[in-house]
Each structure stands twice: as structure tokens, then as C-alpha cells.
Structure 1
């Protein structure tokens, strides 16, 4: 039981100090899971992020479930998910209770503006790390370019883009034996 509580507590702490969602959590997750504990490789974390983007639900919760399951099975996944969700429920409940009274205060507006800037930096860091791991050859760059342009100029669902990228990656691996430069 101690292992499950430990998994819960690790994800609770990460979630409690992360604003901005799953992508903003990536640097903290890498530091805690990859560097500090050595539970998984950075590549595995990036793979879990990629898979989680195509699944319904919150990316951070999906990633936590994958990591918890990898560490301690299905129950580990449940405890990791509860650890990610619990701080959000507590914080949202507190904000909903007290925010109506303070939301117009300049200090609160300035705090949220500062949080937005910090979250933007964390997301940029996650994008750079994902870029370095995911776009490793010309094919990856082409897939990125096509999807990026399609996202800007169309309203196609992100699920279609993920399916497209997966299909191209699978076909590339099948026909080039992993060498798609």
C-alpha cells in the first residue's frame, strides 16, 4: 500500500504546483519521473504524451495513468490519476468559493497575468523538448509542416492529424526499415 500512496503523493505534488495543463507539467514530470526517480526514459514519457493526445480526456491524467500503470499495474494507474486530479478539485473548490469576492482585485488579476506568463514559458519548454525528440529527420519535419499548416488553415479534428501522423510513421517504418532520412 505504501507504494500506491507514494505514487499518489508524487503526482499530487506535481499537480498542485503546475498551472496550464499537461504540457506545462512535462518539465516537472521529466524531472520527477525520469531524472529524480529513474522510473521511465524521457522517450517513454514523450510517447505517453503522444498517445494521450489522441485519447479522450485530460492529457495530464492520461499520462499519469500510463506512468502509474507502468510502475505498479492498474492500481498504480488509478492512484496516479487520483493524485493528479485531487489538487485540481481542491483548488477549483476553493476558487469557486472565494473568487467571486476577490476576482476584481488588482492583485488577483496581476497574479493570474503572471501565472499565464509562467505557464507560457513551461509550455514553450515542453514544445522544444517534444520537438527535439519527435522531429528527428526530414519525414518528421514534413509531417510537422503539413499538420501545422492544416491546423492553421482548416478546422480538422486533431484526432485526424494524430491518425495521419501515426499512419505515415507506420508506413515509413514498414517501407524504409526505420531509415526515413
Structure 2
């Protein structure tokens, strides 16, 4: 299992262009299709990963690996996401100064931008579809988006407010359930 985790996350790290969020559909497809995790379990880990500091792809790999094979699985999966990109960046850094002004290289990087946006949008759409989200459930994300873009509120404050709101909501829900028994 450890070798399978390492191979899978190395392959994902090797062929993912666009970084963090672009790996979500690849990891989801590979993990859920192998029945290593259910789609709900994957989305729970994805939600946890969103609140962790650090590199998104490595964090999600570590959590998935941990869920599947314990601490060793988490370490092996995280290493898988790190090794391939590390060597690719070393190679690019060695030759980039020679090619950075090349018209074709510049156009290739610009052409990849919409692909990365699509790779980020796909898991958002799948999460909405899987959870049968309604307009009511989109109010908080839309409010957060408005606060960040419209009023220039720092995303840090949005995350802090979300954490406080989530804790308060769960406390109220538990007390309400306690009294309704």
C-alpha cells in the first residue's frame, strides 16, 4: 500500500500543472475510483486541508495517506507530491533564464492559465453536485467572496470568522439537541 501511495502521488505531482487546487480532481478521481476513500470522506479531508497552513497538494496527500495507511502513509504520500516537482523546478531553474524571453514559452504559460482555472472549478462543481447544494447553502461563500473582493477584507479574517461561526453553530446545535431529548 505504501508503494502504491508513493507512486500515485508522485505521478500526480509529476503531471499536475497549476499547483494546489489543480490536483483536487486528479486526487479525487484516483482515490475514490480505487475505493480507498468514499467521496464524502474525500470532501471531509478536503475541508480540513483548506484550513491547514502550507502547500495544499502536500497537505491533502498527507491527510489522504494518513487516512489510508496511518503515519507512514501520510509521510510517503506527502513525499510523493514533493519529489517530482522539486526536480522539475531544479531543471526549469537551470534553463529558465535562457528561455524566459522566448515567445513560444511565454505563450505556452499564458495558454495554461484557463486550463488551471478549469481544474480548480471542476472540484467545486463536483462538490456542489455531490452535496446537492442550494442557493441557501451558497450564502456564506458568496458573502465571503463579497467581503474579500468588494470590501478588501483579508481572507485571514474570513477564515477566523468562519472558524468562530462554525464552533458557535455546533455549540448551539448540540445544546438544542440536548434539550430536545
TM (norm. structure 1) is: 0.84
- 2:7 is aligned with 1:22: no
CA drift at 1:57: 0.2
CA drift at 1:81: 0.3
C-alpha separation between the residues in 1 aligned to 2:109 and 2:83?
21
Kept after mapping to 2: 8 A contact 1:14/1:25: yes
Number of the residue aligned with 1:149: 146
Give the counterpart of 1:11 among 9, 14, 32. 9
Q: How many residues align?
A: 174
Give the counterpart of 2:44 among 20, 43, 47. 47
C-alpha separation between the residues in 1 aligned to 2:131 and 2:168?
16
Q: How does 1:74-113 map to 2 (within 5 A)?
A: 74-113=71-110
Moved more, 105-114 or 165-174: 165-174
Kept after mapping to 2: 8 A contact 1:54/1:159: no
Kept after mapping to 2: 8 A contact 1:135/1:141: no
CA drift at 1:86: 0.8
TM (norm. structure 2) is: 0.84
Evaluate the alpha carbon distance shift between residue 165 and residue 49 of structure 1 in structure 2; reply closer, same or farther with a 3 A threshold. same
C-alpha separation between the residues in 2 aligned to 1:39 and 1:166?
29
Secondary structure in 1 aligned to 2:37?
coil
Larger radius of gyration: 2
Evaluate the alpha carbon distance shift between residue 69 and residue 57 of structure 1 in structure 2; reply closer, same or farther with a 3 A threshold. same
C-alpha separation between the residues in 2 aligned to 1:163 and 1:31?
31
C-alpha separation between the residues in 1 aligned to 2:161 and 2:132?
15
Kept after mapping to 2: 8 A contact 1:22/1:58: yes
C-alpha separation between the residues in 2 aligned to 1:63 and 1:119?
18
Secondary structure in 1 aligned to 2:115?
helix
Runs of 4+ more than 4 Å apart: 169-174
- Superposition RMSD on alpha carbons, in Å? 2.2
CA drift at 1:75: 0.7
Could you tell me which runs of 5 or more consecutive residues in structure 2 were left unpaired when the two chains were aligned: none
Kept after mapping to 2: 8 A contact 1:65/1:77: yes
Could you tell me which runs of 5 or more consecutive residues in structure 1 were left unpaired when the two chains were aligned: none
